[in-house]
């Protein structure tokens, strides 16, 4: 089997590439746009295509050259905060890339399986009555990023219905792990703790809303779910991916601070507060587990320890 991963050098894409190669059952190609650091260790085991996917002819050319059996479409602008500052670029970029992937597959190889990756942000404004969140929960998006993911999700469904493409849709909830970029809660906290430990900043950590509760999974478990879906998922169907447990942002911070070698003072920063904040989010991934047998394996605390250890290295190397 051969996989094409769009955004292969990103946080999730790099772990997916590692997992597929380690299985011994896949050849792996991928598109890259930006730094290669996350996949540098994979070397010539990858077939890489430097490309920006906003042009259909580029995506078509890559599919004609790579000839994959499966496409994992991960390339996207992933930050809610960036989408609020510049809504149109997120909407245009994420939806246009999804459209080009689907259209190119329809033209080049309609039998190719596609994983279209959405987000739990599509559900948006949920209440306690909606919990746990199933795939039937209505969309109430709270950011341009969330709307872009709804657009990707529905385009994938449309191409399945009208073109017969073998598209499986995924809606992952929050995922964490080493190599995640700044702008997400775990690396934002961990990078500050690491800098304090090394004496690179004063022993104060800036935080936003600590009461919100989120469903966190380790990225290494998430990529296993992606592979389970591409091999065993039902075309046209949508699947939530999550742990089924909620952890508060306060708990994320407390666990990281408990692993720190120094004492840290916590300070609220209004600039880090979201304009719309959902108090609690919990995933119902019954469908995924029933159809693929997938289960998360990496404990929440281990994920956070790995994130902190990663940022200790990154901060040390910056100076």
Q: Is residue 268 part of a domain?
A: yes
How many domains, the chain? 2
CATH of the domain at 275: 3.90.25.10
Q: Which residue has the tokens 């281990």?
A: 302
Q: Is residue 192 part of a domain?
A: yes
Q: Is residue 274 part of a domain?
A: yes
pLDDT in tens, 115-130: 999 999 999 999 999 9
8 A C-beta contact, residue 126 and residue 281: yes
CATH of the domain at 92: 3.40.50.720
Percent of the chain scored above 90 by pLDDT? 93
pLDDT of residue 308: 98
pLDDT in tens, 234-284: 999 999 999 999 999 999 999 999 999 999 999 988 777 666 579 999 999
Q: Whole-prediction pTM value?
A: 0.96
Q: Judge if 191 and 60 occupy the same domain.
A: no
pLDDT in tens, 212-234: 999 999 999 999 999 999 999 99
CA–CA separation, 188 vs 229, rounded Å? 30
pLDDT of residue 275: 61
305 lies in which domain range? 185-214+246-283+298-318
pLDDT in tens, 13-65: 999 999 999 999 999 999 999 889 999 999 899 999 999 999 999 999 999 99
| Dihedral angle of Cα 305, 310, 312, 314, to the nearest 10 degrees | -160
Q: Judge if 69 and 197 occupy the same domain.
A: no
pLDDT tier, 319 (very low <50, low <70, confident <90, very high otherwise): low
Average pLDDT over residues 78-101: 97
pLDDT of residue 306: 98
pLDDT of residue 271: 75
pLDDT in tens, 135-167: 999 999 999 999 999 999 999 999 999 999 999
pLDDT of residue 215: 98
Helices 11-23/219-232 angle, 10° precision? 60
């Amino acid at each position: 089997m051969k996989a094409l991963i769009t955004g292969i050098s990103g946080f999730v894409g790099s772990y997916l590439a590692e997992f597929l190669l380690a299985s011994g059952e896949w050849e792996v190609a991928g598109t890259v746009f930006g730094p290669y650091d996350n996949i540098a260790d994979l070397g010539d085991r990858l077939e890489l295509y430097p490309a920006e996917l906003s042009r259909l002819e580029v995506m078509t050319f890559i599919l004609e050259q790579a000839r994959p059996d499966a496409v994992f479409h991960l390339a996207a602008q992933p930050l809610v905060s960036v989408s609020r500052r510049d809504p149109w670029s997120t909407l245009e970029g994420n939806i246009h890339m999804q459209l080009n992937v689907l259209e190119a597959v329809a033209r080049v190889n309609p039998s190719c399986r596609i994983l279209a990756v959405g987000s739990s942000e599509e559900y948006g404004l949920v209440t306690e009555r909606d919990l746990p969140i199933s795939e039937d929960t209505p969309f109430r998006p709270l950011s341009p990023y969330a709307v872009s993911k709804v657009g990707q999700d529905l385009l994938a469904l449309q191409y399945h219905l009208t073109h017969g493409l073998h598209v499986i849709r995924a809606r992952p909830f929050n995922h964490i792990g080493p190599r995640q970029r700044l702008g997400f809660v775990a690396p934002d906290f961990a990078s500050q703790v690491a800098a304090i430990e090394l004496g690179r900043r004063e022993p104060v950590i800036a935080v936003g809303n600590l009461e919100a509760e989120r469903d966190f999974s380790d990225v290494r478990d998430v990529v296993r779910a992606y592979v389970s879906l591409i091999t065993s998922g039902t075309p046209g169907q949508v699947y939530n991916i999550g742990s089924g447990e909620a952890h508060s942002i306060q708990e994320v911070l407390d666990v990281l601070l408990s692993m720190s070698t120094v004492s840290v003072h916590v300070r609220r920063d209004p600039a880090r507060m979201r304009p719309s904040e959902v108090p609690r989010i919990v995933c119902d991934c019954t469908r995924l587990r029933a159809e693929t047998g997938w289960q998360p394996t990496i404990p929440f605390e281990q994920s956070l320890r790995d994130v902190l250890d990663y940022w200790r290295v990154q901060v040390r190397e910056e100076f």
